[in-house]
A = this chain, B = another copy of it.
Amino acid sequence: MQNTLFEFISKYVSLTDDEKNAILSLDLFRSVKKGTTLLKEGQKSQDSYFVLKGCIRVYYIIDGEEKTTAFYTEMDALTPHCVINKAPSEYFISCVEDTILTVSNSDMEIEINSNFPKFETMCRKLSEELLVKQQIDFDEFKTSSPEQRYLNLLQKRPGLIQRVPQHQLASYLGIKPQSLSRLRARILEKKG
């Protein structure tokens, strides 16, 4: 499990064994049951997450309806808006599956930063990379239909469709669950 974390970090900076041990001594690892809510709307939080195993999702509740906007799975890092904003959260975060993740708060990060300047470099690289990735995702979303989005997702994250309830997937694609069912039936028809 720890290897997953270090494998991720090694994409951005290389750590000595001392540095690795320093990180391990922070005791960041947590096990969370399916259905657990990590963050609620209106809450203030300092916690960032890194998913080692399992799946967590971000969703809003708008007019009483859940609107899922993101799924984070193995090797995905998530810093909620409210941590950057220092404002109450506008959304919920909860576990789709039993999940193992690291939880780190701002104080810890400041402490790591002061001991290991490398860490700051990693954060800069990471947020630059995420910015570009997200911009590409957004562009793809804007320029394609729900059906294309679904086919796209099948290619890019083939596992996700199996792991996640359809109604959550539907709202992630910007449509209603009924439309997703219909759309899938339509695709099968075309193929067969």
Contact = CB atoms under 8 A, between A and B. Distances in A.
A141 B143 contact: no
A139 interface: yes
Interface stretch (A4-12, A14-22, A121-129): A121-129
Interface SS, A side: helix
Interface stretch (A31-39, A98-106, A130-138): A130-138
Contact of A134 (B85, B123, B134, B174): B134
B69 A143 contact: yes
Q: State the copy count for this chain.
A: 2
A29 interface: no
Contacts of A123: 124
Contacts of A138: 69, 134, 137-138, 141
Contacts of A124: 120, 123-124, 127
Interface in A49-108: 60, 62, 67, 69, 81, 84-85, 91
Given A123-B124, A131-B131, A134-B131, A142 B85 contact: no
Nearest to A67: B143
A13 B85 CA distance: 18
Contacts of A69: 138-139, 142-143
A143 B81 contact: no
A84 B141 contact: no
Interface in A111-169: 120, 123-124, 127-132, 134-139, 141-143
